């Protein structure tokens, strides 16, 4: 299997960590989405990452679908079998991905629009969602043990992206969330190899 990814992508970090945790052999190949490389476009007409290409050459996307694919491929070890615990893990993944969506909307607005055309109400709206989500996480941190699940990897991807793009802008008043990556590292020792990087 091969995962097409970008080093700065929190969604890519999530699925790469999950594949590693599951013990699945996945080659990782960096692609530049801005240049629409044939390798990516031929696999995913949306040209988005991450995209997983399986051993038969079939493509799987987006990141949450890839997570379910990995869960199946590793014998249902990525998400809990218990229905209630599985639901909690899936909701955690959805929350972390949703916060990440808002963060990316802010980054893209600031990166691709001329400063004079920045739509500050849009940025503020996205940031208010981020803050609500982060406050909820800080008050409801998931139990984190060696039995990591897909929600943990979504949170790790989000934490890495916050550190990469928003350092110093979100930590105040959220000590549990700020310190969580250290706890995660105790059970997933190679976090630095997978977390979003410039």
In a 3-state reduction of DSSP, which class is residue 163?
Answer: helix
State the pTM of this model. 0.96
What is the pLDDT, as a whole number, of residue 198?
A: 87
State yes or no: cis peptide before 3, omega within 30 of 0: no
- Identify whether residues 100 and 161 lie together within a single domain: yes
pLDDT digits (tens, 9 = 90+) for 186-197: 999 999 999 999
Is residue 196 in some structural domain?
no
Residue 173 domain flag: yes
Same domain, 184 and 163: yes
What is the mean predicted confidence (pLDDT) over 91-95?
Answer: 98
14 inside domain: yes
Mean pLDDT, rounded, for 30-57: 96
> 136 is in which domain, residue-wise?
83-189
Nearest to 154 by CA among 122, 188, 107, 131: 188
Least confident range from 11-15, 118-122, 157-161: namely 118-122
Q: What is the pLDDT of residue 118?
A: 86
For the chain, what is the domain count? 2
Do residue 104 and residue 52 come from a single domain?
Answer: no
The backbone torsions φ and ψ at residue 140, rounded to the nearest 5 degrees and listed phi first, read: -140, 50
If asked whether residues 99 and 42 sit together in one domain, one would say no
Integer Cα distance of 148 and 24 in angstroms: 15
Q: Average pLDDT for residues 18-43, to the nearest whole number?
A: 96
Band of pLDDT at residue 11, cut at 50, 70 and 90: very high
- CATH number of the domain encompassing residue 15: 3.40.30.10
């Amino acid at each position: 299997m091969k995962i097409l990814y970008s080093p700065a992508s929190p969604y890519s970090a999530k699925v790469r960590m999950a594949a590693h945790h599951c013990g699945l052999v996945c080659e990782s190949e960096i692609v530049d989405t801005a240049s629409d490389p044939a390798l990516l476009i031929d696999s995913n007409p949306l040209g988005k990452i991450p995209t997983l290409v399986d051993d038969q050459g079939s493509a799987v996307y987006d990141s949450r679908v890839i997570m379910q694919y990995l869960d199946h491929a590793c014998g249902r070890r990525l998400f809990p079998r218990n229905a209630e615990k599985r639901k909690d893990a899936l909701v955690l993944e959805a929350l972390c991905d949703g916060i990440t969506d808002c963060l990316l909307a802010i980054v893209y607005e600031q990166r691709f629009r001329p400063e004079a055309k920045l739509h500050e109400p849009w940025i503020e709206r996205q940031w208010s969602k981020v803050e609500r989500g982060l406050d909820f996480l800080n008050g409801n941190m998931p139990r984190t043990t060696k039995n990591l699940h897909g929600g943990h990897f979504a949170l790790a991807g989000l934490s890495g992206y916050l550190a990469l793009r928003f350092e110093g802008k979100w930590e105040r008043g959220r000590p549990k969330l700020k310190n969580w990556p250290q706890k995660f590292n105790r059970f997933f020792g190679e976090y630095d190899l997978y977390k979003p990087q410039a």
